[in-house]
Amino acid sequence: HSFVYEKLFSLWNTILYVCLIWTLTVVATVPNFFVGSLEYDPRIYSCTFVQTVSSSYTITVVVIHFILPITVVTFCYLRIWILVIQVRRKVKSEFKPRMKQSDFRNFLTMFVVFVIFAFCWAPLNFIGLAVSINPTEVAPKIPEWLFVVSYF
């Protein structure tokens, strides 16, 4: 594994990864300037994405930046668990392989990070979807405290 790791995370590849991340960040941010969806919001003391500007744009942002990643990661975790269960069933009970504690800890850490990501971003994204359905009716009905808390 160390050879593969050294190849994947060489100095040159790491620089490319950082550049790719910055490029994707710019690509994700630039459309906001054309839609006019960035404004200062005094409730959260920050420049933020205004969900009421364009329903279709808000839905697109929520799908691409939240629902799609959550779906892909959930699918991957389910496949991992199914594979682990299938392998354990195929192996005879006296030869049950034990998962290394470090592997289990790494898997659990990644899963916890995923759950925290979903838990933290879900309120804001679900509010965005609700508002995008009918901005003039739904937006005023969302309690201000819920909106503010969803950012933190």
Q: pLDDT by residue (tens digit) across 10-21? A: 999 999 999 999
DSSP string, 61-100: HHIIIIIHHHHHHHHHHHHHHHHHHHHHHHS-GGGPPPPP
The predicted-structure confidence for 125-147, as pLDDT tens digits, reads as follows 998 888 888 888 888 888 888 88
Mean pLDDT throughout 47-68?
Answer: 86
The set of residues, in sequence order, having a beta carbon less than 8 Å from that of 47 and lying 6+ positions away, is: 38, 39, 40, 41
What is the pTM assigned to this prediction? 0.70
The whole-angstrom separation of Cα 57 and Cα 59 is: 5
> Kindly report the CA angle at 79 between 78 and 84, in degrees rounded to 5?
100
> Crossing angle, helix 144-151 and helix 101-133, to 10 degrees?
150
The predicted-structure confidence for 100-117, as pLDDT tens digits, reads as follows 777 778 888 888 999 999
Q: Hunting for tokens 């354990």 — which residue is that?
A: 88
Q: Hunting for tokens 């668990």 — which residue is that?
A: 81
How high does pLDDT run on average in the chain? 84
Residue of 128, 18, 109 lying closest to 66 (CA atoms): 128
